[in-house]
Structure 1
Amino acid sequence: MEILVKQFNELSLKDLYDILQLRSEVFVVEQDCVYQDIDGKDADALHIIGKKNNEIVAYTRCFDKGFYFEEAAIGRVVVKMNQRKYGYGHDIMKASLKAIKEHFNTEAIRLSAQQYLIKFYENHGFTIQGEGYLEDGIPHIAMVK
């Protein structure tokens, strides 16, 4: 998988379309969750894109400290369903951590994890902070690194 790191204005129309399609495919359709994915924040994000055979198969968006939280933030962590057996989730997370350090000069990161993925995020150095909560009807928990 090839990893690309792009600001919003560096995304091609095809990249943007494919990113939004993947996010909708997983977060809206697969997880059966009606929510506002296109939230007006993509223009402020650093986009970490995983491509295989010119198809986006993994993705995250990252924000500088102070945008969402005191710490930098990672969100919209997603891997295409038929590509999850290859470890691309770990690859895209490693690339996201590296991009945050390089672009935002910090290693302090907060994210809102779907609770079934706690072990996944713990493998990347995150720890639980606080109690669980519902976000868009799905159990989440705050995690920090």
Structure 2
Amino acid sequence: MSQSASGLQKALAAAFAKAEALGVAVNIAVVDGGGNLAAFLRMPGAFLASTDIAIDKAWTANSFGMSTAAFSQMLEGEVAPVREGLLRRPRVTVIPGGLPVRQDGQLIGGIGVSGASAAQDEEIAMCGLKALLES
């Protein structure tokens, strides 16, 4: 299973449209099941630092098979060495806005959005995810 080019384009377009409707500029990243960047879009005016953060959100969601918000909640229950050790790893983030991509129950990637509020990033990522899964 993999993400098609047209599906990736639809995901970026849907997320872009949602961000525009919300009046925010964001970076949108999609990674494949191996954590490799499969698609990326930086809206004009989006924070430059949010470029890598969007990719990190997608990577983390794919790597752990859960949203970055859920990953953050999971880490709250862990002992400090586990929590701190994981968060010191490159690409790992607990910033909300990263969602895993599953197809037929199998993890095939992740989508991450960064540049707006945590709630807006998640909402935009969900729009992109829905478009990707419908393609």
TM-score (ref. length: structure 1): 0.29
| Relative contact order higher in (CA < 8 Å, ≥ 6 apart) | 2
Higher helix share: 2
